[in-house]
Amino acid sequence: MKKNRKNLALLLLAASLLAGCAGQSNSQSSQSSQAKSEKKAESKASSKSAAKSAASSAVSSTKSSSSQASSKSAAKSAASSAVSSTKSSSSQASSKSSAASSSQRADVNRMGTLTSQLRVKLPGMLLPAADGLGQGSSNLNIRYTSSSSQNVVYYSVGNSPLALNDSRIASEKPYAVLTEKKNVADASSLINYQEPKTGLPAVKIASNVTGTEEGAAGSTYLQFNQGQWSFVVRASNVQGQKPLPTAQKLLALYQQYGLPDTAAKSSVQVDVGESLGSLNTVITWAKGSSVYQLKAHSAETAFKMLKSLN
């Protein structure tokens, strides 16, 4: 009986040990399974993270490429715009230059056309080929009178170009008047040449040119001579004018443009002050049996016109 109890106890102990081993095995298996699950989860998470990173990198790369493409497109657009602008500016400049050139040609042609017509009407008279104007040449108008003793040509600028000797030109103020007196017996009486004066205060006009100055009747007269020409400048004392600046300008114009060839002594007389219609510059000289006189509103205009005389 005791032996049976002992055997029963051994069986129970063995069963208990077997149960414990089985539980432990199950526990280890469960832990191993859990570990494997965790590893799979980590692997999936890692894969997802890598995928996200790759996707983010792809997006970033795409954005960068898009940005670079956009920058290149903008640069090309800017370059194209700059080229277009340059071409436009060049085209405008070319158009303006062409228009200015066309205008200058029209101005020259007008003076040339009117002068050619004058030569037919006044054969043998010396005439200028240049109008002497700084502006207004496109509206240059010319009228003339002629007789057996003299020819007179009036140069003016109107509101519109008119035909030679159009009656409406008579109402325009001339900026220059050229006169030819024909078959003159005594040219000196018309020319009014002034011999160099002595005993008067000397005035230095240039480094190698000296003139003389004298006062009379509320005016100051400054005179100097060059070759066959006498130059006299009158300034009004009442108006506070000074003759020296005008005398210096006259000398400079003479040195730049010269004056008509003349065997006789000739003269240049200028009143200080220039205005349209004033005709304050008077240049008189002889050519053959004729005496010519050009009156102009400015000395520079007169010298330019006489430079082209033929």
Residues 111 and 131: their CA atoms lie apart, in Å, by 7
Residues paired with residue 287 on neighbouring β-strands, in sequence order? 290
If phi > 0 it is left, if psi is from -120 to 50 it is alpha, else beta; for residue 159 that is: alpha
Q: What mean pLDDT is predicted for residues 282-301? A: 96
- Find where tokens 């020409």 sit: 229
Lowest mean pLDDT among 103-117, 133-147, 247-261, 263-277: 103-117
Show the 3-state SS of 40-85: HHHHHHHHHHHHHHHHHHHHHHHHHHHHHHHHHHHHHHHHHHHHHH
Q: What mean pLDDT is predicted for residues 39-46? A: 40
Q: What mean pLDDT is predicted for residues 2-25? A: 45
pLDDT given at position 175 = 97
Share above pLDDT 90 across residues of the chain, in percent, rounded to a whole number = 60
Q: What pLDDT, in 10s, does the model give residues 63-102? A: 433 434 344 444 344 444 433 444 444 445 444 444 444 4
Inter-residue contact 179 to 152 (CB < 8 Å): yes
Give percent helix, percent strand, percent coil of the chain, each to the nearest 5: 50, 25, 25
Residue 148 neighbours by CB under 8 Å, 6+ apart: 182
Rounding to the nearest 10 degrees, give the CA dihedral for residues 140, 145, 150, 155. Answer: -10
pLDDT given at position 92 = 52
Q: What is the DSSP letter of 309?
A: B
Can you give the pTM of this predicted structure?
Answer: 0.67
Strands 219-226, 229-236: pairing is antiparallel
Q: What pLDDT, in 10s, does the model give residues 155-186? A: 999 999 999 999 999 999 999 999 999 999 99
Structure tokens of 108? 């020259």
In 114-130, which positions are buried (b, 16+ CB within 10 angstroms) versus exposed (e)?
A: bbeebeeebeebebbeb
Q: What pLDDT, in 10s, does the model give residues 225-284? A: 999 999 999 999 999 999 999 999 999 999 999 999 887 999 999 999 887 789 999 999
Residues 238 and 216: their CA atoms lie apart, in Å, by 12
Residues 286 and 267: their CA atoms lie apart, in Å, by 10
For residue 33, pLDDT beyond 60: no
Q: What mean pLDDT is predicted for residues 31-55? A: 39
Q: Of the ranges 21-35, 39-53, 207-221, which is most confident?
A: 207-221
Residues 56 and 54: their CA atoms lie apart, in Å, by 5
* Total residue length of the chain: 310
Please name the amino acid found at residue 252.
A
- Phi, psi (rounded to 5 degrees) for 283: -120, 125
Residues paired with residue 267 on neighbouring β-strands, in sequence order? 230, 284
Please name the amino acid found at residue 44.
K
Q: What mean pLDDT is predicted for residues 219-224? A: 98
